[in-house]
């Protein structure tokens, strides 16, 4: 279904419209800006994933430190 909508005919029309609207000189600048925005987005996602992994590791370490070991028996009172 999407292959029918986004066929080669539509792509050609979109390219012609972009060239008419932005002009030939602005297209490389537009592509450069889109590329840098994509790289910034990927960098942000990687940082977010790193922060989430650090938080998960810290939570696991805190939980392991807080719970007594399975081998230890509680002291009798």
Q: According to the model, what pLDDT value does residue 2 have?
A: 57
Please give the pLDDT value at position 77: 56
**What pLDDT score does 23 carry?**
83
**DSSP labels, the chain:** -HHHHT-HHHHHHHHHHHHHHH-TTHHHHHHHHHHHHHHHHHHHHHHHHHHHHHHHHHHHHHHHHHSPPSSPPPPP-
Q: Each residue's pLDDT tens digit in the chain (77 positions)? A: 556 677 888 888 988 888 888 888 888 888 899 999 999 999 999 999 999 999 999 988 888 888 765 555 666 65
């Amino acid at each position: 279904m999407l292959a029918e909508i986004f066929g080669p005919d539509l792509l050609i029309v979109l390219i012609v419209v972009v060239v008419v609207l932005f002009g030939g000189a602005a297209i490389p600048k537009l592509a450069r800006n889109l590329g840098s925005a994509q790289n910034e987005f990927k960098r942000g996602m990687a940082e977010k994933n790193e922060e989430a992994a650090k938080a998960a590791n810290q939570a696991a370490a805190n939980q392991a430190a807080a719970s007594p070991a399975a081998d230890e028996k509680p002291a009798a009172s």
